[in-house]
Each structure stands twice: as structure tokens, then as C-alpha cells.
Copies of this chain bind each other. A is one copy, B any other.
Amino acid sequence: MPRESAAKIYEVATRLFGDQSYPATSMRDISQAVGILPGSLYSHISGKEALLFSIVESGVTKYLEAVAPVAESPEPADVRLRAAIAAHVTVVAENIQLTLVAFHQWKYLEDANRRRVIDMRNAYEDMFTRIVQDGIDTGVFTTTHDARFSVLAVLGMLNWVPEWFSPNGKASTEEVAEALADVVLSGLMSPVPAAKGRKPRSR
């Protein structure tokens, strides 16, 4: 099973890139954590840049695949935005290290690869933009500001989650998602809507 080694390299690199950043992680750091000698890494991967790119790409892809279906559902915009936020928070919760790399370390990619990541990130942002714009067009959202600002507010909020979310913390993924969605949808000053279509879980 030759692929097992490559998989271990990806796992280790994801953790180290996330903890220490890409430029501060040496190939020797990775090889040591894997348990082989530095030169031996190159039997499994082509280089440091390619390693980073494949990690970032798989991370961003997870987000695209999780949010796309809910973003494109036929529900009203507020329901879709809430579902998109929940989907995003779920991916964060299940992939914190991968998310840290995908959201911060992609900047260290060289031109061609960085461009590809930027395109994917733009596609992700566009999903949120379409939801917000649709909400404004249909009158579900009554904000008077450009959709762009609301989207950037939401994305900032979401991009910050991996910095503080702990899977072992008091708050569950669902609670975090609901709290964040409420901030965006209702604001701090509006009564939280009585959680449409959701009721205390019955067993």
C-alpha cells in the first residue's frame, strides 16, 4: 500500500502548515513528524508547493461541495443563508486544521496555483452574494446597503470561526451556527425568530 505514506504526509503537513504556517514549516519538520528522512519525502510528493496546493484545493473543495446544494435550493433567501452558514460552520468544525491552511496559507502559492485558488474562493463568495442579492430582490432582506457589504460581513464572520471554534467547547456546532446566523439575519436588537421549522429535538 504505497499511498498510505503519501496520505500521512498530507495529514502531517496540514497540521504543521496550520499550526506554524507554510513558510515557517520546513520539509525537515514534515519528514521528522512523518518518521522518515527529508529526502525521502520526494518519493511521495513532488515538492513543497505542490503539497500546499493539494491541501488548499481539497479544503476549498469541501466548502464548495457543502454549501453549493443549500445555496442553490429553491427555499427563500433567509432560509438558504441560514443553511449556508450552518453548512460552513459544520465544515469548519470537522476540519479545523485543513480550514486554517485553506483560508490563510493559500497566499503563499505561486502565481498559477494561487490564481486557481482565488477563482475557487470567488466562486464560494459568489454563492453567498447570490443568496443575499436574491433576498434583497425578493424583499426578504430589507437592508438598504449594497449586497457586497453584507456578504463581506458574513464571510468575515465565517472566516474567523476557525480561530476560536473548539470541537470540545461548550457550544455545539449547531448552536454556533444558529448564533452566527441570527446575528446576520436578525441583528442583535431584533427578537430571535422562533426558529422556523425547528423544534426541540424529539427522540
Contacts and interface: CB of A to CB of B under 8 A. Distances in A.
Q: Count the copies.
A: 2
Interface of A: 21, 23-24, 78, 81, 104, 107-108, 132, 135, 140-146, 149-150, 152-161, 163-164, 171, 175-176, 178-180, 182-192
A24 to B, nearest CB: 5
B23 A188 contact: no
A140 B141 CA distance: 22
A145 to B, nearest CB: 4
Q: Looking at chain A's contact residues, is the secondary structure mostly helix, strand, loop, or mixed? A: helix
A108 B21 contact: yes
Contact of A145 (B142, B150, B157, B179): B179
Contacts of A187: 182-188, 190
Contact of A149 (B104, B180, B189): B180
A157 to B, nearest CB: 4
A141 B155 CA distance: 23
B143 A183 contact: yes
A135 to B, nearest CB: 7
A191 B190 CA distance: 11
A137 to B, nearest CB: 13
A140 B24 contact: no
Given A179-B150, A182-B143, A190 B188 contact: no
Nearest to A193: B189
A144 B24 contact: no
